[in-house]
Structure 1
Amino acid sequence: MINFNGTLTENPQFTAYNRGMLYGDAVFETIRYTGGKLTFWEDHYFRLMASMRILRMEIPMHFTLENLEEELLKVIEAETFQNKAASIRLTVTRNEGGKYLPEDNGVGFYAFAKELKNPFFILNEESYEVELYKDHYVNADLISTLKTANKIIHVTGSIYAEENDYANCLLLNNNKAVVEALNGNLFLVKGNVIKTPSLEDGCLRGIIRKQLIEMLKKLEDYTVEEASISPFELQKADELFITNAIVGIQPITKYRKKTYTNKVAKDLLGKLNAQARLAK
Structure 2
Amino acid sequence: MANAYPNPAEINPHNRSFLFGDGVFDTVKIRLGKVCFAELHYFRLMAALRIARMSIPKWLDQETYEAMLCEKANEIQAPNARVRITFFRNVGGKYFPSTSHVSYTIEAEPLEQSDFAASNELYEVDIYRDFTITAQLLSTIKSTSKLIHVTAAIYAQENDWQNCLLLNEHKNVVELVNANLFVRFGTKISTAPLSEGCQNGVIRKTILTDAVLKEKYAFEERPISVFELQQADELFFTNAIQGVGSVTKYRKKEYEKTAAAEIRMRLNALIAE
Do the two structures share a fold, i.e. TM-score over 0.5? yes
For the structure 1 residues 80 and 218, does the alpha-carbon distance in structure 2 shift closer, same or farther, using more than 3 Å as the test?
A: closer
Matches within 5 A, 1:21-100: 21-81=18-78, 84-100=79-95
What residue number does 2:175 align with? 180
**Deviation digits for residues 224-249 of structure 1, max 9, x if unmatched?**
01000000000000000110000000
Structure 2 residue runs without a partner (length 5+): none
Taking the aligned partners of 2:183 and 2:30, their CA distance within structure 1 comes to 28
Contact 1:147–1:204 (8 Å) recurs in 2:
yes
Residue in 2 aligned with 1:229? 224
Work out the CA distance in 2 between the residues paired with 1:100 and 1:166: 37
Confirm or deny: 8 A CA contact 1:32 1:38 kept in the other structure.
yes
Q: For 1:188, give the aligned amino acid.
A: V
1:7 paired to 2:4: no
Q: TM-score, normalised by structure 2?
A: 0.96
Match of 1:271 in 2: 266
After superposition, what is the alpha-carbon deviation per residue over 1:81-102, rounded to whole angstroms, capped at 9, x for unaligned? 1xx3110001001111011111
Conservation of the 8 A alpha-carbon contact between 1:217 and 1:223:
no
Q: Which runs of 5+ in 1 are unaligned?
A: none
1:131 to 126, 129, 134: 126
Cα separation, 2, equivalents of 1:69 and 1:218: 27
Deviations 1:204-241 (A, max 9, x none): 00000000101267532210010000000000000001
The answer to whether the 8 Å contact 1:239/1:260 transfers is yes
What is the aligned-residue identity percentage? 44
| Counterpart AA for 2:176 | A
Which amino acid is 2:252 matched to?
K
Letter in 1 for 2:130: D
For 1:136 and 1:214, the matched residues in 2 are separated by 31
Q: Report how many residues are paired.
A: 269
Matches of 1:216 and 1:185 in 2, distance apart? 20
CA distance in 2, matches of 1:217, 1:150: 36
> 1:180 aligns to what SS in structure 2?
strand
Return the letter of the residue paired with 1:7. N
Q: Distance in 2 between matches of 1:212 and 1:61?
A: 31
Q: Does the 8 A contact of 1:252 with 1:260 survive in 2?
A: yes
Aligned residue among 225, 228, 236 for 1:241: 236
Aligned with residue 14 of structure 2, among 8, 17, 39: 17
Q: State the AA in 2 paired with 1:223.
A: A
> Which residue identity lines up with residue 63 of structure 1 in the other structure?
L
Structure-1-length-normalised TM-score: 0.93
Structure 2 contact 33–70 (Cα < 8 Å) conserved? no
Separation in 1, partners of 2:189, 2:27:
25
